[in-house]
Every structure is written in C-alpha cells, then in structure tokens.
Amino acid sequence: MKIDPGLAQFLISTAITEVMGIVRERHAATGDLPTDQEVIDRMKARADRIVEKADAFLRES
Amino acid sequence: MRFFKILSFALVIGLALPLLAACPKAPASVVTPQGRAAFKADQVLARIENLEDVVIRAGTPDAAGHRVISKADADLIVGFCKDAALVIRQTPDGWLAAVRVLWDRAAARIPPADLPAVQGYVLMISVLLEGAGA
C-alpha cells in the first residue's frame, strides 16, 4: 500500500485542528467570546485567503 | 515497516474521518442566525483551507521536479476550493447544495486514470460535504 505523504499530513493536521477546535470551544465557555460580527468577519477573511492562494497557484504554469 | 505504515494510515483515517465530519458548535456569544451560519461556514472553510494547502503542496514540483499529483488534477481541486469559498462567503446560510454541484462537476472532470492518485482528496471532500449537511 502506497501512502501519499501529503494526504497523511493533511489527515494529521485535520485531527490537530479538530482537537484545537474542541479546546477553543471549552475556552470559549470561560471567556474570549467572539461576537456575531467577529465570526462573520473571520469567515469572510478565511474565504478571501482561500481565493488568494488558489489564484496564485492557478496562475503557475 | 510496511505493516507499520498501513497501521498508521488506518489509525489516522479512523481518527480523522469522524472528527472531520463533526464541526464544533457555535459559542454562546454568537446569538443571531447569521452569526451561527457564519460560524459553521467558517468551520467548513477552515477544513477547505487545510485541504487546499495540502493539494497545493502535492501539485507543486519538488527539487527533483516530481509532483505527488498532476498539476491538472491539483488545479481542479484547488479551483473547486476557490469556487466553494466564494459561494460560502456569499451565502453562508445556504451554500451546501451549490457547493455539492460544484464538487460533482469538478470530480467528474478528473480523468479516471488519475483517480487512484487523488482518491484520498476526493474522499476528504465527500466526507466534509456529508458532515456539513448532517
């Protein structure tokens, strides 16, 4: 069985992201609570970042 | 060594897939429907961004000029990530059906001969969309 190193790395980083998400959720219960607008702004910023990275990659020949 | 690799892969798959499908709930400070939709959308975008990063690395030649997946396949998946991000940003409370259509179209354009090389990424996106709809 051949393992794609990039995919394995992705799965590991996904697992870490999920654990961090759970930690943030616990932390949010005790403070550092984002407002609705902050959550909306964060979502838009992340979408913009995805588009920028995609454009840079797709421009490469 | 081979057994260890297979075991490691199985463990990672077993850990990651259920976690991938289960996004954290919005914190109590997010009270409006728009805020909750944006929170969930951001969780999905975070996973799409992770996937995009990996596909870009896989589609970028290393020092020896070797790519893990072809540039054409990487372009298809990265293009999907971009289109999905645009749709989600525009309609954070109702993007799923449109993104599923985008993915179906992108996946249909992957040459059958390339599927073994990209099947892991295909699986990740399918699981992500299923999890988002749950």
| A30 CA: distance to closest CA in chain B (Å) | 10
| Stretch among A10-19, A43-52, B54-63 having the lowest mean pLDDT | A10-19
Nearest to B24, CA basis, from A40, A28, A32: A28
Please provide the size of chain A in residues.
61
Residue A9 in this model has a pLDDT that exceeds 90: no
Handedness of CA B110, B68, A15, B40 (dihedral sign): negative
Query: A residues 22-61 near B, CB within 8 Å?
Result: 22, 24-25, 28-29, 33-37, 39-40, 42-44, 46-51, 53-55, 57-58, 60
pTM (two decimals): 0.78
Q: Tell me the C-alpha distance between B41 and B46, whole Å.
A: 9
Q: What is the pLDDT of residue B113?
A: 92
Q: What is the pLDDT of residue A25?
A: 62
DSSP assignment of B76-116 equals HHHHHHHHHHHHHHH-TTS-HHHHHHHHHHHHHTS-GGGHH
Q: Report yes or no for ipTM above 0.95.
A: no
Q: Tell me the C-alpha distance between B49 and B51, whole Å.
A: 5
Q: What is the pLDDT of residue B56?
A: 95
Q: What is the pLDDT of residue B127?
A: 86
For B16, the closest of A15, A33, A34 (CB atoms) is A15
Angle between helices B115-133 and A5-28 (to 10 degrees): 20
Closest chain B residue to the Cα of A4, Cα to Cα: B68
A18 close contact with B: CB closer than 8 A: yes
Q: What stretches in chain B show pLDDT beneath 50?
A: 1, 7-8, 11, 15
| B132 CA: distance to closest CA in chain A (Å) | 14
For A53, the closest of B6, B45, B52 (CB atoms) is B52
Closest chain A residue to the Cα of B56, Cα to Cα: A57
Cβ distance B42 to A39 less than 8 Å, yes or no, reads yes
